[in-house]
Amino acid sequence: MRRSGIKIGRIFGIPIYLHLSWILIFGLITYSLVDEFGARYPQWSGRQLWSLGVLTSLLFFGSVLFHELSHSVVARHYRIPVASITLFFFGGIASITRDPERPGQEFLMAAAGPASSYVLAGAFGLLTLVTPKDSMPNALGSWLAWTNLALATFNLLPGFPLDGGRVFRSIVWGITKNYSKSTRIASRMGQAIAYGMIAYGLWRAFGVHSTFDGLWFMFLGWFLLTAARQSYQQVEAQGALQGLRAADVMTSEMPTVGRELSLDEYSREVSRTGRRAHLVVSDGKLAGFMRVEILQAVPREDWPSTSVQAVMIPREKLPWTAPDEPVLSVLERMRSANVDQLAVIREDNIVGLVTRDSILRVVQARTELGHVTGS
């Protein structure tokens, strides 16, 4: 997955992002909290209600971040890279760049999130016990304790790719010794739970006692259903790439441009050919690498007076791979570096390019022909 959103910092070296949808849900939660606290504590002023609402919302998303960091810390313990953590509409997601190698690793990685939420539920519950009943800390602690408890319990549902679904997959994986089969079983379980949530949401929303939270259950069910399907498709794609090397998926047709070309001229070349990446050459030798993303980072008014050489990736900094590197490893490095292509270099000569598109074409072809390994 590509990283997206606004970068707000790093924790343990992991970039933290805010998706734009986070702003919407933060506002909705804060507003609902102000309404809830206002009905429960009519003696509080508007300033008190809004201050508590904002603080509680911030601590809620802090709890979600703590949940995702727990996954990430365990993943890094097993030397599994974590590209980023993104807070978004449904909470958060840790972008872990590859799957664990053994069932026990996945079990601990998956269980770490709910365990951390239960710890937070206990801590906020303790705050509730030691503060006066109608005080602001008591109200904050009570809401966050129950919310973290609900978050942990919901995530333990055995519906892949929820944490409980990953725990379930790790158990099936340990029994069957077959990663692909265990993923298929866990994914189907996830889809079944998703359909159940959608049906329950329909009943809640349009039944005799219709309630608004039915729509929320339907939305969550739809999200889980989509995620379960996509997760299994991702495993199928990994199976299709099993055993392939960079040389098997690279494209040998490498478009080139001269380093003296202006960015304005380069933009016209991109528009004419539709190619988004080019090798930059000088006197027949490789000088660097140029791609559309670099062009877009330069103000348009500077394009006529700026050369490709001034902004290109120099040869010595060019991301590359060897022809015999496994494609799954190449894809992992592309995801970690958030790049669309890697040069394939043999004995200091570029022999091709591996791109996301070239990998996707191979996945589609091998899947259609039934060449996915595992069952």
Tokens 């601990």 belong to which residue? Answer: 108
Helix, strand or coil, per DSSP, at residue 277? strand
* CA 133 vs CA 8, 49, 50, 60, 119: distances in Å: 35, 16, 19, 21, 22
In this structure, which long-range contacts are made by residues 254-257, counting pairs with CB atoms below 8 Å and at least 24 apart in sequence? 254/279, 254/350, 254/352, 254/353, 255/279, 256/280, 256/281, 257/281, 257/290, 257/308
Which residues are within 8 A (CB) of 359 and not within 5 positions of it... i.e. 6 or more apart?
241, 249, 327, 330, 331
Radius of gyration of the chain (CA): 25
Q: Which residues are catalytic?
A: 68
What is the number of other CB atoms lying within 10 angstroms of the CB of residue 354? 28
Question: What is the total residue count of the chain?
Answer: 375
User: Both tokens of residue 123?
Assistant: 């801590």
Q: What angle do CA 45, 46, 48 make, to 5 degrees?
A: 65
∠ CA 336-337-338 to the nearest 5 degrees?
Answer: 90
Starting at the earlier edge strand, list the strands of the sheet with 349-355.
320-321, 341-346, 349-355
